[in-house]
Structure 1
Amino acid sequence: MNIPLHDKDQKPTIAILTVNDGTRIFRGDKSNFADIVKAGHEFGAEVYVITADNVKLTENRMFGFRYNPDRRSWVRDWMPAPHVIYNRVPFRKMEMHPEVQQIIQACIRSNQVNLYNPSFFNKWSLFEWLNKSAHTRMYIPATEQLSTSFGLERLLRNYPVVYLKPVKGKAGRGIMRLERKIGKYNQPEYELSVQSNKEIVYKVHYSIDSLWKDVDELRGAKEYIMQQGITLTSYKGRAYDLRVLVQKNALGVWSVTGIGARVAGKLSITTHVPRGGSIEDPLKLLTYAFGQKEAASILKRTKRAAVVLAKQIEKSSGQQLGEMSMDLGVDTSGRIWFFEANSKPMKFDEPDIRKKSLERIIHYGVFLTKKARRR
């Protein structure tokens, strides 16, 4: 006789998937996980943390970590088998470990559990997916794989500014900026800017060969893409982009949870906060550039674009996704551009976005639970 893994009357159970590394109980942002557990309690769901080595899909109980809010500590305990697994393995290298991949693939194939956001995004794959549809192609800057000096020279001929980005990069690490200028005797010069913590290191090259040698050395063995530079609208001389959080809601439908803005630091080639960027109100920034009426219109168009982009990413990935953050830019004419998406968003610092994001994590988990029970 087969014992059902889930009682149909059991409250929705969501496990936050991570890993341990032998030095701590589990990896990941513990304060974020604690907030998700507390949100689960508020909305009637059981939420706990589980490490990949404790996932046993044939069992009706698993070892997990429940949060004790009074002691602000995590306690290892037997937990009911989850209806939903929310993948928050924090680093690509950890996620690609054979044992972790084995568990993730088993969860994807399983009829007992719903896993969503099974992997990090690859930047090159994102642009390939979005170029497949006319509805999303319009938001994509010219983007190619960085492979030869000839390809780089061609892109620099077409666009005076080009960005080089690691395919598996995070938080602006490893990004390079190239600008083609006209120097003495009407000859081209290439200025290479590299972010070093919160400062920029500049170097001028007088030939593509010299530039390529430097770029090739800086990228090492990492895969890179090269991308058309967009002239973003700015606030008091500092460029900014929009950070959009898109999540599935209680009906399992993609919806924008909130939009924030990140302003580039004075000595930064990106808007990422760890690289010196700062947080601002998007309506304030857009109103400064375009006026109040047009700023409101741009934000509406941004929301529509983000949902269309999320749908296309999920469709092309062939995976079950539940949330992603996006970096979208607005150029000086008001056109919206897509730069990046992250399948494991960092916490948004804006309180209203943060609160709503936690609610939606639980609401979508409950939706998946109900969907599984109907099935």
Structure 2
Amino acid sequence: MSHICAGIQLDEKSDFPSGTHLLISPKIQQALQLPLRSPITLQLGQKSTTCIIQTFSSTGSLVRIRKDLAEYLHLPDGIQLNMRYDNRLRRIVLGPVLGVLISTLIRTPEGIFGSASSFCKELVQGAKSKGILAYIFTLKDLDNDNQTAKGWRWENNKWVQKTMPYPDTIYNRLASRKDENRSEAQDWISGLKKKGVTFFNEHFLNKWQVHQALSNMKEAALYLPSTQMHKGYATVKEAVDKFPQVYLKPTNGSLGKGIYRITRSGNRFTCQYSTMSGSVRKEFSKLSDLYSSISPKISRIPYLVQQGLKLVRVNGNPLDFRSLVQKDSSGKWAVTSIVGRIGQDQSIVSNLARGGTIMPVAKALIAASPWQGPKPKTKQLKAISTTLAESLESSMQGHFAELGIDLAVDTQGKVWLLEINAKPSKNDDQVLSEQKKTRPSVKKLLEYVLHLHGSGKSSHRGPGGFMQVAARKTSKRRKR
């Protein structure tokens, strides 16, 4: 399917020859081989209509669309969009239209989307230059009857909510499992898929399901700690007898919440866990007493019992590595960024939400100790991250375009998988210095969206691009 990135200009019906709906530059007509003066389908998002096309005198990549047609499609003025033409179906497809699904507005000093405000702004702004119509929305913003959504766009240095075309691609950033598992949300997601809407990062991951899936993949099983489902005291005792340190983790947990670390030293047992106010440490002479103290909490929801690892640390603090792995412009997994994360003093987790800090991987490895084996290289951590992403995709259902993969390294230099997150934080992938340009993760995400719709690297603009073409709009409209 041939395609081109073109500027969109809305004009009055009186500016068009009788019966004509679109006026396109000869350059676009030649690039897409569009038929003139005969019915053709024009589609944006989930809406389509029949139109008649003619050319007009222009040297750029400009499309002039009748306002009445644009209003039906809810097409904004003064933007640029990819145009793809399917000769077999005689259909022009504009876009793609990308909707970023969030749970709700969170008005904080950072913006109306909370800590993700900066990311949302970069994504919507970055989409403009790539010919993607992107906006932020919630489930309550959808109007299924009219096939529209009240989407948030960044315009004139502020967020503005406007009626937008229904998306043909949705990036799921629902913030909680509770929101995602609501019957309303599940019914809506199921309905979208039936309509052919591309929906990626469609669900949170369950730690036990991930472990089971990867255990069956030879390339991934190498990096998995010994893990069992918690089935009572006997499960914990068996693990503590086998390993001097054991972790208890909720299967659906995130941000380090609800994790317990049990350490055996002689006849003493220590239980440690983190809270927002700091780390808590308790000692017991009997494992059964320790278990009794935490049993009410770990018996209410599914928990994993996992082998503790003798990991390298930085100044005594936990160190792990967050790798952001994304699908690229060719649809393949690639590492976009990777950082070392160092936990607070005495913390058992390194999450930024728990006060952790980040640093470049090479610097973190140099600062880490003790080493009793060879240090891994950044290149090795990236290769393992890609392998794990590919293995997960092969062994689990669901469409994912980005994954946050947490790795750790033991004192022998062996790399271990700690967790895979389908909704990676939009803070961890920030560069370590003040950011002035669109972050790489946003660019990679948009490139993948274009790949999904057949408008990848080969998409092109006219000389100077649309930004220059659009600037030449005048009050006097040209008539054919």
Match of 1:106 among 170, 191, 207: 191
Question: What SS class does the counterpart of residue 216 from structure 1 fall into?
Answer: helix
Count of residues in Structure 1 that have an aligned counterpart in Structure 2:
361
Distance 1:346 1:268 in 2: 20
Question: What SS class does the counterpart of residue 252 from structure 2 fall into?
Answer: coil
Distance 2:231 2:103 in 1: 34
What are the residue-to-residue correspondences of 1:53-64 with 2, within 5 Å? 53-55=140-142, 61-64=147-150
Match of 1:135 among 206, 209, 219: 219
The answer to whether structure 1 residue 65 and structure 2 residue 155 are counterparts is no
TM-aligned CA distance change 1:226 to 1:36, over 3 Å: same
Distance 1:105 1:27 in 2: 25
The answer to whether structure 1 residue 366 and structure 2 residue 447 are counterparts is no
- Give 1:62 shift: 0.8
Distance 2:299 2:105 in 1: 27
TM-aligned CA distance change 1:98 to 1:371, over 3 Å: farther
- Please tell me whether the aligned partners of residues 84 and 369 of structure 1 are also in contact (alpha carbons under 8 angstroms): no
Structure-2 residue corresponding to 1:38: 125
Distance 1:108 1:140 in 2: 33
Question: What SS class does the counterpart of residue 454 from structure 2 fall into?
Answer: helix
TM-aligned CA distance change 1:32 to 1:210, over 3 Å: same
Distance 1:17 1:359 in 2: 18
Structure-1 residue corresponding to 2:425: 346
Amino acid at match of 2:229: Q
Distance 2:445 2:103 in 1: 20
What are the residue-to-residue correspondences of 1:1-375 with 2, within 5 Å? 5=47, 8-20=92-104, 29-55=116-142, 61-75=147-161, 77-111=162-196, 113-182=197-266, 188-219=267-298, 221-289=300-368, 298-347=377-426, 348-350=429-431, 355-370=439-454
Per the normalisation by structure 1, the TM-score is 0.88
- Give 1:20 shift: 4.1
Instruction: Give the CA RMSD over aligned residues.
Output: 2.8
TM-aligned CA distance change 1:8 to 1:50, over 3 Å: farther
TM-aligned CA distance change 1:8 to 1:287, over 3 Å: farther
TM-aligned CA distance change 1:354 to 1:193, over 3 Å: farther
- Give 1:336 shift: 0.7
Point out where structure 2 has 5 or more consecutive residues left out of the alignment.
1-40, 49-90, 457-480
What fraction of aligned residue pairs are identical, expressed as a percent?
26
Deviation larger for 216-225 or 147-156 = 216-225
Distance 2:304 2:388 in 1: 20
Structure-2 residue corresponding to 1:185: none
Point out where structure 1 has 5 or more consecutive residues left out of the alignment.
183-187
Task: Decide which structure has greater helix share.
Answer: 1
Distance 1:68 1:27 in 2: 12
Distance 2:315 2:291 in 1: 34
Distance 1:285 1:234 in 2: 9
- Please tell me whether the aligned partners of residues 83 and 369 of structure 1 are also in contact (alpha carbons under 8 angstroms): no
- Give 1:11 shift: 2.4
Amino acid at match of 1:219: I
- Give 1:121 shift: 0.6
- Give 1:231 shift: 1.3
Distance 1:132 1:283 in 2: 32
**Larger Rg belongs to:** 2
Amino acid at match of 2:231: S
